[in-house]
Amino acid sequence: MKGKVVLITGATSGIGRACALVFGQAGAQVVITGRDEARLAATRQELEQQHIACHAVRADVGVEADSERAVAETITAFGRLDVLINNAGISMRAMFQDADLGVIQRLMQTNFFGTVYTTKFALPHLLASKGSIVGISSIAGYRGLPGRTGYSASKFAMQGFLEALRTELLPQGVHVLVACPGFTASNIRQTALAADGSAQGESPRDEGQMMTSEEVAHHLLRAVQQRRRDLVLTAQGKLTVFLNKWLPGLADRLVLNHFRKEEGSPVK
């Protein structure tokens, strides 16, 4: 990655922050975005302490102008762009019948349109470098999850967009990777939206048994270096994708039962 420039959205915590450190330690120059000024400054300071060349941009990927500015500042700071990691995302935890429609709209705006906006503005530079576009999706992009209808819809949409884009870009040599980490110890569940759009707060899951964000970042680095097409992580994630493809009726029942058992689950 030496000499490469990597733009990572939503890089102030979790997988995004871990990617900034791992790609930076591999020699990349890193641009990070986030909505929270304090967290952004803290992550930038952490990168600088590791002697990683970096630039921070306060931006909300769901705002088209912010996405355009993030790419423009990347080019101003480092003169090129080699890897775009579309990581910024939010989740939800509510039954669809109870959820405010604004919750679904917010998830689509960040998770889907955030990817579309940033990729659109980054594409001319990635064409020039024959670089990589990475979408951090989810097992929910392969298998709809109860209590996460808006999240699943946004990740299905992201994967469809990136699959179509990958096919369009085959002749131009731009690499497109769809990565599905499975359940990961990150903050996405703490910031998940409840039925009324408020933040959920504490994660209902035991994160001690999950793959860490740092492990995910190392897998992502290798997948980008190898220019892989897809990446599905964790045994549970791989099993879910397999069962949903070959035994979808069984997958329906297993997934329903699994999410019913979650502490404080809205799924009945």
187: tokens are 């903050």
Question: Which amino acids are annotated catalytic?
Answer: 151
Cβ-proximal residues to 130 (8 Å cutoff; 6+ apart), any chain: 172, 173, 174, 175
Per residue, the 3-state secondary structure of the chain, as one string, reads CCCCEEEECCCCCHHHHHHHHHHHHCCCEEEEEECCHHHHHHHHHHHHHCCCCEEEEECCCCCHHHHHHHHHHHHHHHCCCCEEEECCCCCECCCCCCCCHHHHHHHHHHHHHHHHHHHHHHHHHHHHHCCEEEEECCHHHCCCCCCCHHHHHHHHHHHHHHHHHHHHHHHHCCEEEEEECCCEECCCCCCCECCCCCECCCCCCCHHHCEEHHHHHHHHHHHHHCCCCEEECCHHHHHHHHHHHHCHHHHHHHHHHHHHCCCCCCCC
The C-alpha atoms of residue 92 and residue 140 are separated, in whole angstroms, by 12
How many C-beta atoms lie closer than 10 Å to residue 260's C-beta? 13
The C-alpha atoms of residue 246 and residue 58 are separated, in whole angstroms, by 43
136: tokens are 């951090």
